[in-house]
Amino acid sequence: MKNTKYIILIAALVFTAFGCKKFLNVTPIEAQSGNNFWKTREDVEGFTNGIYSRLKSKVAGTPTFFNEDDRAFFPALEMRGNKVAIGSLSNDGANTFNALTGNNMKFLVASSGRFNGMMKNIMSWKEWYDVVAAANILYFEVDKVPSSSLPDADKKRYKAEAVFLRNLSYMFICKLFGDAIYYTDAYHSTPQGRTPQVTVLNRCIEDMTAAKNDLPTFYNDATSNGFRPTRASAVALLMHLNMWAAAWDTGVKTKYYDAVKTLATELDTYSNYKILPITPANTLKIFKGRSSENLFGILQDFNYGEGFSLPAGLSYYLSHYPYQGNVTKTQSSIAYSTDYIRKLYPPGSADARITTWFENYDAQGGAFQFKKFANIYSTGSGSAISITSDDSAIIFRLPDCYLLTAEALAELGDESGARDFANRVTVTANAPLITQSGQDLKDEIYRERCRELIGEGQFFFDLVRTKRVLNSDFTNAPMSVANLNAGAWTWPLTITAAERSANPNLIGNNYWN
């Protein structure tokens, strides 16, 4: 590195795409740079695969358990501030997740241990900036590939893919830490301070909007759909960027809601996408990641050598045999609280998600079983058999977009339109239609997001974004308005002494410091 943590030498950026090559059928680039690089389509694809490897590493780690590369990214986002009951979890797991549900981030900063280490990984934004820096280089360098090897239309697609990846990273940076260091130039070397997140988000919206139409509407290669960005993926990202900006912009918010409404109209023109009815078979398809409602995710597939670390999936905590562990694992380690889950899914209500995604859904104990993530693979045999999750990490899918649209329309006063979009989701779940008005409608749309997206890592972001984190009806750890405004919703940001020396403009999140 040079004089800032956000430079990545080209030698470090030529990643080994340890898993992506298998489902993308390309050879990763491992040691090319300078004049040896950017010659062919294969060079560009190999470099791009390396970016996806970095993204996967950040949120999922690698399969060998407790090898210093474990992750609990999406489970942590699901459980922070949530109403869950922590049971038996080895090592420091129980203390870690109890602190997380109580928003006791200072405890996590001060403690140590295996699960605590996974939380500290989330407190670092370096790997997000690795993705940003690599995406910026891809955007800059791809034009140098001879057109005889890579047609101009394909160059535009790769550049749009780079724009998607950097803005996806900025979205997570803002949702985790608030203000961000924003740049889009390749080989960035100027130390700079943090830019207000609303400014960053608006720049990302402008950036992604300009590049969106250079992405395909669908890939002819079926292995890419759901795992490489399309225009629908960009629409989903733009919806999230707009709704997060609306939460923090102190000015007029209607422009963000209007943008989401327009994006929803565009999304409806893409005929390849449709929401699937809730059934066991469709659940397997959705969370494998290549169904008609999948917009973007990160692949896990045992058959192709694509594995996550065990703690990276929520089933590790909320499931037991035959969905997780060996035959002796007869109880789940964590369960949703009885009070919370009954408010989401009232007992006796008609909702296919209750019977499809749960066993003993309101037991609040080891008998609780979460079956939403039901793709599995087994190793061993007999009493030594072990079951491991084989679900992909789904970042964007169609019901998420429909419910964001419903939320935006409700804020615009279009209650009929809001109900129509929300009920696209309830109908496929065979659940009661949403019929409310006013604040009751807004609350019910929020609860429908909780019902439909349960376990997918959206919980804490939605809680903060809608400011329901202030209300004990919705969270285990309500915040005061003063603490929310002071940054109690952020993750602590780890900045090392070396990083401070390289960039004196860096500051952490003062609430946790």
Kindly list the domain boundaries of the chain, sorted by start residue: 40-69+124-215+480-512, 224-300+395-478, 314-390
> Do residues 321 and 357 touch, judged by C-beta distance below 8 A?
no
CATH number of 40-69+124-215+480-512: 1.25.40.390
| pLDDT computed for residue 15 by the predictor | 39
| pLDDT computed for residue 95 by the predictor | 95
Burial class of residue 352 (count of CB atoms within 10 Å of its CB; 0-12, 13-18, 19+): middle
> DSSP letters along 86-120, please?
E---TTTHHHHHHHHHTT-HHHHHH--SHHHHHHH
| pLDDT computed for residue 164 by the predictor | 98
At residue 318, does pLDDT exceed 60?
A: yes
Q: Does 40-69+124-215+480-512 match 224-300+395-478 in CATH topology?
A: yes
At residue 26, does pLDDT exceed 80?
A: no
Task: Considering only CA atoms, give the Rg of the chain.
Answer: 22
Question: pTM of this prediction?
Answer: 0.93
What value does the mean pLDDT of the chain take?
91
The CB density around residue 143, as the number of other CB atoms within 10 Å, is 14
At residue 29, does pLDDT exceed 80?
A: no
β-bridge mates for residue 388, sequence order = 377
111: nearest Cα among 125, 124, 97, 101: 97
The residue behind tokens 């989701």 is 425
Average pLDDT for 239-268: 97
| Predicted confidence (pLDDT) per residue in 466-488, tens digit | 999 999 999 999 999 999 999 99
Please name the residues in contact with 157: beta carbons below 8 A apart, sequence gap of 6 or more: 214, 215, 216
Average pLDDT for 96-102: 96
| Predicted confidence (pLDDT) per residue in 171-210, tens digit | 999 999 999 999 999 998 888 999 999 999 999 999 999 9
Query: 224-300+395-478: what CATH class?
Result: mainly alpha
- DSSP E strand stretches across 152-205: none
| pLDDT computed for residue 382 by the predictor | 84
Average pLDDT for 100-104: 97
Average pLDDT for 289-300: 96
The CB density around residue 350, as the number of other CB atoms within 10 Å, is 10
Q: What backbone phi and psi angles, to 5 degrees, belong to 84?
A: -130, 160
| pLDDT computed for residue 65 by the predictor | 57
Structure token pair of residue 261: 């409404």
Identity at 212, one-letter amino acid code: K
Higher per-residue pLDDT: 72 or 15? 72
At residue 419, does pLDDT exceed 60?
A: yes
| pLDDT computed for residue 143 by the predictor | 95
Measured on CA atoms in the order 231, 235, 240, 244, is the torsion positive or negative? Answer: positive
The SS3 call for residue 425 is helix
Please name the residues in contact with 195: beta carbons below 8 A apart, sequence gap of 6 or more: 179, 180, 181, 182
Q: How confident is the model at residue 448 (pLDDT cuts 50, 70, 90)?
A: very high
| Predicted confidence (pLDDT) per residue in 356-401, tens digit | 999 999 999 889 999 999 999 998 888 889 999 999 999 999 999 9
At residue 352, does pLDDT exceed 50?
A: yes
| pLDDT computed for residue 66 by the predictor | 53
| Predicted confidence (pLDDT) per residue in 3-13, tens digit | 333 333 333 44
